[in-house]
Amino acid sequence: MKKIQFFLLTKTLGLYLNCLSFVNAEKAKSKAYKLFSTPRKGRLKKERMPKTLLFTTRETFEYEGEKIQTYLWQGDEKIILLVHGWESNASRWKKLLTHLKPLGHTIIAIDGPAHGLSDGTEFNTPKYAEFIHILTQKYQPHIVIGHSVGGVTLAYYLNKFKNPHIQKAVLLGAPSDFQIISNNFVALLSLNDRLKNLLETHCKERFNISVQEFSGHKFAENFHQKAFIAHDINDPVVKIDEGRKYAKAWKNATYIETQGLGHSMHDTVLYQKITDFISQA
């Protein structure tokens, strides 16, 4: 029943936006982009924080007047940065943290734009990368771990900011081609070509990179960091081909395919492999 309701809702919204695009194209584009960039979940409330984040050192940074929330588990001089994905927050690392903490390293997790306790209503990868850049100016992580959109954000970040301190990267279920994400959104709402082109032009003008050029695995072709890339063959959100693109492009990468982990990628065996990768010289 919920699937039917969701289908009817998305198609009704799409029909409305398509009709609006012939009357007021700018308004239709703005509404469509807002739908695309506004998370429906992933927020946290200070009075009801997950136990995972309660006993941490919390620190906030600012980007263009918006608060960036971070959480720190103090350890040695080696720093690990955790970057969550769409409609999530720093608490998603609960299971991985049980494997990382025994390593004794300092761990920092970030709430992305419009997620967790961070400010904002809009989420996009370039903005997320700016959040990371601001954080890394104080804490220079040696290892970065990203799940889903957090993974492609790290690829974009490494391509744009060329951070020489980062030695290793871990990508879990990460998408690569933004064109696929865009096309999926257009198909979900059955948007017409007029709106599709308006959205793509908007992204090009705002972020100075076209939808076609925004490709994580193409960014990775020039990366020098060691990488550990994992993707589930039955991932229903980000298809396995995306993980294979990263594996082919990233010169110094270890790549594994899992089965039965879905998009969340929570698994004791996988997490042990990640800690082994981090511990390697």
Angle at which helices 193-207 and 178-189 pack, to 10 degrees? 140
Separation CA 83–CA 235 (nearest Å): 19
Q: How far apart are the first and last CA of the chain?
A: 52
CA angle 264/270/275 to nearest 5° reads: 120
Residue 246 contacts residue 273 (beta carbons within 8 Å): no
Residue holding tokens 């270890």? 254
Strand bridging mode 66-73 / 105-110: antiparallel
Which of 196, 168, 238 lies closest to 25, judged by CA?
A: 196
The count of other CB atoms within 10 Å of the CB of residue 226 is 19
Q: Give the pLDDT score at 126.
A: 96
Residue 86 contacts residue 95 (beta carbons within 8 Å): no
Separation CA 112–CA 118 (nearest Å): 6
Q: Give the pLDDT score at 1.
A: 61
Domains of the chain with CATH codes: 1-37+178-209 (no CATH), 44-175+215-279 (3.40.50.1820)
Separation CA 107–CA 227 (nearest Å): 18
| Phi, psi dihedrals of residue 11, rounded to the nearest 5° | -70, -35
Q: Mind listing the pLDDT tens digit of every residue in the chain (281 residues)?
A: 677 888 888 989 999 999 999 999 999 999 999 999 999 999 999 999 999 999 999 999 999 999 999 999 999 999 999 999 999 999 999 999 999 999 999 999 999 999 999 999 999 999 999 999 999 999 999 999 999 999 999 999 999 999 999 999 999 999 999 999 999 999 999 999 999 999 999 999 999 999 999 999 999 999 999 999 999 999 999 999 999 999 999 999 999 999 999 999 999 999 999 999 999 97
Element housing 159 (H / E) = helix 149-161
Q: Give the pLDDT score at 202.
A: 95
Separation CA 172–CA 192 (nearest Å): 33
Residue 115 contacts residue 147 (beta carbons within 8 Å): no
Which of 176, 182, 150 lies closest to 265, judged by CA?
A: 150
Q: Give the pLDDT score at 154.
A: 98
Element housing 132 (H / E) = helix 125-138
Q: Give the pLDDT score at 103.
A: 97
Q: Give the pLDDT score at 8.
A: 83
Separation CA 213–CA 45 (nearest Å): 37
Which of 184, 160, 154 lies closest to 172, judged by CA?
A: 154
The count of other CB atoms within 10 Å of the CB of residue 245 is 21
Separation CA 198–CA 200 (nearest Å): 6
Q: And the tokens for 5?
A: 């309701």
Separation CA 110–CA 130 (nearest Å): 12
